[in-house]
Amino acid sequence: MNELCADIGYKSINHYGEQLCGDHVDIVKQDDGSCVVVLADGLGSGVKASILSTLTSKIISTMIAENLPIEDCVSTIAATLPVDSKRGVAYSTFTIIHLKKNGSAELIQFDNPHVILIRNGDSTEYPKTELNIDGKKIYRSDIVLKENDVFIAMSDGCPHAGIGTAYNFGWRREDIAQYMEGLVSVGYTAKTLSTMLINECYTLYGEKPGDDATSCVIKIRKREPMNILFGPPANRDDCDRMMSLFFSKEGKHIICGGTTSSIAAKWLKKPLKTNLSFERSDIPPTAEIEGIDLVTEGVITLNRVIEYAKDHIAENKLYEEWEYYNNGAALISRMLFEEATDINFYVGKAINPAHQHMDLPINYSIKMKIVQELTECLKKMGKSIKVSYF
């Protein structure tokens, strides 16, 4: 997984009328770059199902991450799960995707719809070995990862969407695969891909899901560095040092802030051209400096990016806004959420004297809070973040 990395995102909807989801996704990332993702679907729905799937995914992800054999995981689950009083069984299905540091993925699947693998834009079948553990049929596969591979794990709530209404037999796995093939090539994040799949299920269910439905998407991709400059340095003499460090870094460059971009333009000896088009939004216009990928205003723009970032890691209701608009905040969001995997922040701690005297919602502590909140959100998206202060 050295030069490759994984973008992982998932989304669930609950059985109509339930407050809890009976599906659960657990992700364990390890320091060596390996990662275990477990999607579990508990029997029934509501509280009972939620407990079953949470226990199952948690136990399996922890045990697999510790390199314990799958047989032990299965027997541990069987011994641990509470037995359903009505049905007399303890049961939760699961899908395990173990991304190993040697660049392969181990898939272990029990009773969930089989994972869809989209490779080179087409859904691809992969060999599976059938194991029998305590009378349970479990399928195991080993897949050597390639760049742009996309794994889609689901609970059975997805293929069951639309049974008897939109489709006679629900949304078949082949059809889901075909639907996703078209979306994968666009470059959406794993989170957005899973959101789109689940939104489609929700529509097929007539907005009243007859089951919990969850999809978890894993995108295998190349590392992509990105650099972002925000704020002038506290000490004017540090300008040169800050600029030369920022511009020497590999990857794209984003500059946020009016004064900051003037300093950068001066350093590069290039003109700073400001646009006057406001696009239907209340975000200040962007600007251009030759050689810089994106130049925007600072505080207001980044505050909106944080709003998008918080939504993206949670409900993901606003993605259409940043996905298709062209204002500064939307452009930054696309670059940071979709393109980047490793983001370097260069933050200047200068205090703008003009800002301090006014009743404006801009001041030093707000700038620092922006950096803190944004980097936290980005870390939750699985990005690796470095922040340098000047």
List contacts with other proteins (CB under 8 A): 257-259, 261-262, 272, 274-276, 278, 282, 284-285, 287, 297-300, 352, 354-355, 357-358, 360-362
Query: How many Cα neighbours within 13 Å face the side chain of 118?
Result: 27
The least distance separating other proteins from the CB of residue 377, rounded to whole angstroms, comes to: 21
Nearest CA to 170 out of 139, 213, 138 is that of 213
Question: Would you say 113 or 328 has its CB closer to other proteins?
Answer: 328
Q: Which is nearer to other proteins, 197 or 283 (by Cβ)?
A: 283
Q: What is the 3-state secondary structure (H, E, C) of 41-106?
A: EECCCHHHHHHHHHHHHHHHHHHHHCCCCHHHHHHHHHHHCCCCCCCCCCCEEEEEEEECCCCEEE
244 versus 275: smaller Cβ distance to other proteins: 275
CB-based burial, 270-309: b 16+ in 10 Å, e otherwise? eebeeeeeeeeeebbbbbbbeebebbbbbbebbbbbbbbb
- Least separation in angstroms between CB 153 and other proteins: 43
Instruction: Give the residue with the Cβ less far from other proteins, 65 or 362.
Output: 362
Query: Which residue, 209 or 258, has its beta carbon nearer to other proteins?
Result: 258
Minimum distance between the CB of residue 171 and other proteins, rounded to whole angstroms?
A: 45
Q: How far is the CB of 271 from other proteins (least distance, A)?
A: 11
Cα–Cα distance measured from residue 268 to residue 247, given in angstroms and rounded to the nearest whole number: 10
Instruction: Considering the complex, state which of residue 91 and residue 230 has its C-beta at the smaller distance from other proteins.
Output: 230
Name the minimum Å distance from CB 69 to other proteins: 57
Contact 388, 345 (CB under 8 A): yes
For tokens 């290039």, the residue is: 270
Least distance from other proteins to the Cβ atom of residue 349, Å = 16
Helix (H, G, I), strand (E, B) or coil at 29: strand
CA gap 263, 390 in Å, rounded? 14
